[in-house]
Amino acid sequence: MVGGVSGGIGRYFGIDPTLVRIGFVALALLGGTGLIVYAAALLLVPLDDETAPSPSTPRDRNLALGLLVAFVVIGIVVGGGFGFAFGGALGPLGFIALAGLAVWWLVSGERPTGSPGTVVRRAAMGVGLLVGCFALSVASFFASGLGGGVVVAAIVITAGAGLVAAAFVGGARWLVLPALAIALPLAFVSAAGIDLDGGFGERQERPGTLAEVKDTYRLGAGELVIDLRNVDLPAGDHPLSVRIGAGHAQVIVDRDVCVASKAEIGMGAVAIFDHDSGGIDVDWRDTRRASGDTPRLVLDGHVGLGLIEVSHTRDTVHHGPDWREDGAVERNSACVTS
Amino acid sequence: MRHARPDRLLLVAGCVLAAFGVVLLLDRTGAIELSFGSMAPMAFAVVGAVLLASGLTRRE
């Protein structure tokens, strides 16, 4: 192949260049990603007839880390685009295998060299470690969000103590990865204030009378729609608390209802008619007054991860002040303008 | 009798992780309230401590 890339890579890693060529051809057929990787290697890898530098341990680890990051980025950008379109799931699976190889190299120091069987075994060990860490992360996330955060935090502390003990008895450094896989989701849940208690899925609430309106609507994850248009709200304040761990909450009110709102969003956005705010740690306050004969809905929203919005119609998800397809801008027009 | 030196990277990572766990425990019990704004400097400190330990380990 052009430029002696396969030979250079094979010599550097101590594997048969034929295997490298087969890998490039396979990736090229699986959506064309092999061509991109090959082009990058053409620029970065010493040619076949050049002398590759002797890898030292720090260099190996840095290279493994770089490869891991590169595989993940390429896998997301390329594999998620036309790679999926042309190669199905095989392209991303190839990147996962390579990432597994890099992970195992990083945590164990065993380079991807030797016989094909040895390389496959090390890739499998790396993928297994990745899959295990992913499963731990998912379990940690849901356990933390469903009220088990204290237990998960205790596990993190125990894992930290275990690492300290391992430092004295010569434990494996790869233990840091599963420990982080447990700690980081809990940290995310804590920072975002995600509370998954309240169920999952889509839920629509359409109370017909004021008595049917609950004080608090809660959903763990999913979409929650509270349609208050059938409720004849009398003049005065009507507090409404909406809590959703992750997802989308929408409150729909008649045009003659004034809405005052406050909301805390861990990560996401709040959209009250034509006003919105988004990002992380969003602390929303929109104090509005209503005239004497106008009902005022006082919304207290809490969203860990997602969007909460108030509108007059059940429309598409908010995309900015002029989000309605018919061009109409919804306003909080029932409130007193000051 | 000469004792083997502990793995400094594991030692620092373990201590940092345990301290991180204590902070998370305090948040879960309601003693403090974490946000992304307070979590970000903490995460940088954790990564920095581990990198520092890793660098010092390599120098030895």
Give this complex's ipTM. 0.88
Mean pLDDT, range A28-41, rounded to an integer: 51
pTM score, two decimals?
0.70
CA–CA dist A171, B13 (Å, integer): 13
Other residues' Cβ atoms within 10 Å of the Cβ of residue A134: 11
User: Is the separation of the CB atoms in A175 and A166 below 8 Å?
Assistant: yes
pLDDT at A326: 53
How far off is chain A from B17, nearest CA to CA, in Å? 5
What residue type is assigned to position B42 of the chain? Answer: M
Nearest-neighbour CA in chain A from B11: distance (Å): 5
From chain B, the residues in CB contact with A174 under 8 A are none
Cβ contact B14–A150 (<8 Å): no
**Residue contact B7–A186, C-beta within 8 A:** no
Quick check: A50 pLDDT over 50? no
Distance CA A24, CA A274 (A): 52
Nearest CA in chain A to B5: A168
Chain A residues within 8 A of B8 when measuring between CB atoms? 167
Nearest Cα to Cα of residue A22 among A4, A34, A8 = A34
Contact (CB<8Å) B27/A192: no
| Overall average pLDDT of the A188-193 stretch | 91
Q: How many CA atoms within 13 Å lie on the side-chain side of A10?
A: 19
Residue A88 pLDDT class (50, 70, 90 cuts) = low
- Note the pLDDT of residue A251: 93
The CB-based long-range contact list for A199-208 (8 Å cut-off, 24+ gap) reads A206/A230, A207/A231
The H or E element that residue A141 is part of is helix A116-143
CA distance B26 to B42: 14
> Is residue A61 scored above 80 in pLDDT?
no
Mean of all residue pLDDT scores within chain A: 78
- Please give the C-alpha separations between residue A276 and each of A43, A68, A189, A262, A272, in angstroms, as whole numbers: 47, 38, 24, 12, 6
Q: State the average pLDDT over residues A87-111.
A: 71
Strands (E), chain A: 200-205, 216-227, 236-252, 258-272, 275-286, 289-290, 295-311, 335-336
CB contact under 8 A, A190 and B11: no
pLDDT tier at A35, thresholds 50, 70, 90: low
- Return d(Cα A258, Cα A295) in angstroms, integer: 6
Q: How far is CA A4 from CA A10, A12, A26, A42, A221, in A?
A: 10, 12, 18, 8, 52
